[in-house]
Structure 1
Amino acid sequence: MIVMGIGRFAYTPILPYLQDAVRLTDVMAGYLASANYLGYLLGAFLAGISQWKKGKTFYLRFYLVINILTTIAMGLTDLYLLWFFFRFISGLTSGLVFVLASSIILDILALTKQSLWSGMFYSGVGMGIFITGLIVPVLEHYFSWRGAWSGLGILSIFIGVFTFLWLKENSSDKIKYPSSIMPCPKASHKQRILPWLIASYGCEGMGYSVSGTFLVALVQDIPSLSHIPSLSWVFVGIAAIPSCMLWAWVAKKYSNLIALQIAFFTQIVGVILPVIFFNFYGALIGALLFGATFMGITTLAVSEGRRIAPHQSSKVIGYLTCVYGIGQMIGPSIAGILIAKSGNYHSSLLFAASVLVFGMLFLGIVQIKNKKLERMKNNALCKH
């Protein structure tokens, strides 16, 4: 809720107010978002290679505090250079906390065979988005855009208390993996699938980040929603809260890969709907579809990556998040330039949808290679 729903995504509903108050251009808005995503990229990379000698929980809490301070600091200045710095540090700590928290939670859920509960864990992102969509307009009305940032930071402090009181970790040294998820001799063959999954997830990072940055600003141009553009962000949050649990259920019934294909297609529809129907219904239905998929895709991709290499969960999650971060860093910058040149948001959304199509193609390659491995495995079993 804090590092993702608020620390990262509060920028989206606050952006229109920033643009009105300090004349922030779409290009500058894209660069600010990219600074955050660059930090996220580096944070994920560091999380994947670090040893965490004092324990993951210690470092998670430390970076959580820094993340909250950067949210508060955004409201204390109007200097672009400081904004870039704060958004970068916010992204850095978001990436670190996301990987650390995911690693702690997914390992324990796998050991207790309760992986479906991962959906509840990831729903925190949707809860944070829902909260920001509701209270940012109120905070801005009474305290301006500065108060919106500071108010969200103060709220984060209260929520963060629970992390300090309740979050505990089983030492990774003590974790004994069941034989069903121990590395096997054929793991190297299985891990050849991983680069294609990572490439697909990178496309998701690039494609989703466009809507994740400019959705509320786009909605502000729709006459019927211009007085309350953050309503679209509330819809994103409402759909995101149960989305991970929904996609976990779909994955359990079919498979992670099939669920990912469905989620990608649904997100593409959500991204291009406001282009086809630039009105109240197109914007809000598109927001619902976007909210229902972007965190679900994260849950599914991370779960699939962990299935491929269960004994290296932190590294795999770090690699996935790292490439996702590269996509996020590139997406808003390109989108900001496209918006500035075209004078509207349509070109940026079409760009995002095209990238997501490539993500589906990479997933198709994963599915083909996965079927070949399954046939090899079956043939080996028959010989034995």
Structure 2
Amino acid sequence: MITAIKHPPHIRALLLSIAGSVVLIIGMGYGRFAFTGVLPVMLKENLLTLQQGNWAASANYAGYLLGALLLSRARPVDSRRLCFTSVLATLLSIVALAWLRSPLAIIVLRGLAGLFSAVTLIAASLWLLQHMQHTQGAPMLFSGVGIGVFLSAEMVAVGKSLALPSATIWLLCAGSAAVMFLVFFRLLNSPPDTLVDYPFKAQTSTCSQTVTATEAWKLLLIYGLAGFGYIITATYLPLFLTGSLTGIDPVQIWAVFGLAAAPSCFFWHRLVVARGYRFTLLLNLILQAVGVILPAFSHALPFCLASALLVGFTFMGTVTVALPEARRLAAAVSFNMIAAMTALYGIGQIAGPLVAGELYAFSGSFNPSLWTASTALMLAAGLVAKR
């Protein structure tokens, strides 16, 4: 049943943005990234080996890639149903992790969870930005990824402080996510004309002017390198800090990662409008590369906090800056530019944990992986700077 929101226009606009954000909090923050916080506990319980954890992470990113490709032709009118379905599927996949003991089953389930997370991202974007015609809500919408990382990390931290097993931690995550969805799900039933009297502001474009196939292919390569560059930190940050920090749970560093990501979409959106695509993406990638490499120098608390802040604050900024540029360059190529961007980003994310696993097996340290990831980001920055 479609229901209207009986509030002033600006309040309605905010509530719709929050509703879309909640979909991403659950689908991305919990469904995709809570595994980063729980993985050290599962390794300690011998539910997974490090190699199996690598495969589970890569399976999740492969599922994300598949989900993005499957929904490449999704329509805005389908978005509400897709939001409901994907969130419920994500919640069920989290609950299932509390009972599964087979490494193969966990790996397969993480692949499905990746697919569901891609559906939530696409569905929430279609619902808010196209179906509800609320394009100004994009920064709040995408901040849900960082908020979800922070909230799920805090749930994991509570579970670890109480010495709960991973199964109970997964149920704690599922319960807190379900409560959020119950609070906000009715907003997803809002009719498409809810914001018909909302005063939309004209968007100012300050993108670079070159529209060539060369620029399009260069952006694809930059985005793929960025996907590889951030994902090792986003997958293993609490794990490679385990045992090196005293007086603080490494999962709290992961919470800082999410907390930094939440406001980043607003910052990078405003910066790209003010300073343009090239300057903004170059700054974003350099800061991200610095953040990735910091723990390779030291696992002391200041280095770890700086890494979490820098990578958390920049990884969603890359998406915020690059995707509008991809839409602008779409006319220069004969394929779907957004789909190609998503695919290459996904391939970079799949490769990251696999490369990290091989380098760890060879060296017994995550440092080579961090150097490799940081180098990839600097190569991407070099491509942005090259005219």
Task: Give the TM-score band, short-chain normalised.
Answer: 0.7 to 0.9
Judged with a 3 Å threshold, the aligned counterparts in structure 2 of structure 1 residues 351 and 188 are, in CA distance, closer, same or farther, namely closer
1:200 equivalent to 2:218? Answer: no
Could you tell me which residue of structure 2 aligns to residue 95 of structure 1? 118
- The aligned residue for residue 342 of structure 2 is 321
Unmatched tracts of structure 1, length 5 or more: 172-177, 182-186, 369-384
1:32–1:87 contact (8 Å) kept in structure 2:
yes
* Structure 2 residue aligned with 1:131: 151
Distance in 1 (CA, whole Å) between partners of 2:115 and 2:324 is 23
Query: Which amino acid letter does the alignment assign opposite residue 121 of structure 1?
Result: L
Other structure's SS at 2:32 match: coil
| One-letter code aligned to 1:236 | F
Give runs of aligned pairs for residues 78-89 of structure 1, distance below 5 A. 78-89=101-112
What are the Cα deviations for residues 160-219 of structure 1, in whole angstroms up to 9, with x where unaligned?
A: 235531125749xxxxxx9x99xxxxx995565333212211111111110011100111
Q: Deviations over 1:123-146 (max 9, x none)?
A: 111111111221202224353111
Q: Moved runs in structure 1, 4+ residues, more than 6 A?
A: none
Letter in 1 for 2:96: A
In structure 1, distance between residues paired with 2:155 and 2:339: 32
Residue type matched to 2:244 in 1?
I
- State how many pairs are aligned: 347
2:323 is the counterpart of 1:332 = no
Which blocks of at least 5 consecutive residues in structure 2 are unaligned?
1-24, 194-199, 204-208
The 3-state SS of whatever aligns with 1:55 is helix
**Residue type of the alignment partner of 1:62:** T
- The CA distance in 1 between the partners of 2:153 and 2:264, in whole Å, is 17
Residues of 1 paired with 2:76 and 2:307: CA distance? 44
Structure having the higher helix fraction is: 1
Looking at structure 1, the residues matched to 346 and 63 of structure 2 have their Cα atoms a distance apart, in angstroms, of: 8
Residues 272-351 of structure 1: matches in 2 within 5 Å?
272-309=293-330, 315-351=336-372
Match of 1:175 in 2: none
Give the letter for the 1:273 counterpart. Answer: L
Amino acid aligned to 1:45: L
Q: How far apart in 2 are the matches of 1:243 and 1:145? A: 30
CA distance in 2, matches of 1:304, 1:54: 25
1:57-206 superposed matches below 5 A: 57-107=80-130, 115=136, 117-140=137-160, 141-161=162-182, 164-167=185-188, 168=190, 170=192, 189-190=211-212, 193-206=215-228
Amino acid at match of 2:59: A
1:54 to 1:247, Cα distance in 2 relative to 1, 3 A: closer
From 221, 228, 231, the counterpart of 2:243 = 221
Q: Is the 8 A contact 2:76 2:127 kept in 1?
A: no
Given candidates 4, 9, 13, the residue that maps to 2:37 is 13
**Within 2, Cα distance between the matches of 1:86 and 1:328?**
17
- Normalising by structure 1, report the TM-score: 0.83
Whole-angstrom distance in 1 between the partners of 2:276 and 2:220: 17
Report which structure shows greater RCO (CA 8 Å, sep ≥6).
Answer: 1
CA 119–166 in structure 1, closer or farther in 2 if over 3 Å, else same: same
Question: Considering only aligned residues, what root-mean-square deviation do their CA atoms show, in Å?
Answer: 2.8
Deviations 1:282-313 (A, max 9, x none): 11111111111111111111222234349x9x
User: Which residue number in structure 2 is paired with residue 250 of structure 1?
Assistant: 271
| Equivalent-residue separation in structure 2 for 1:293 and 1:144 (angstroms) | 33
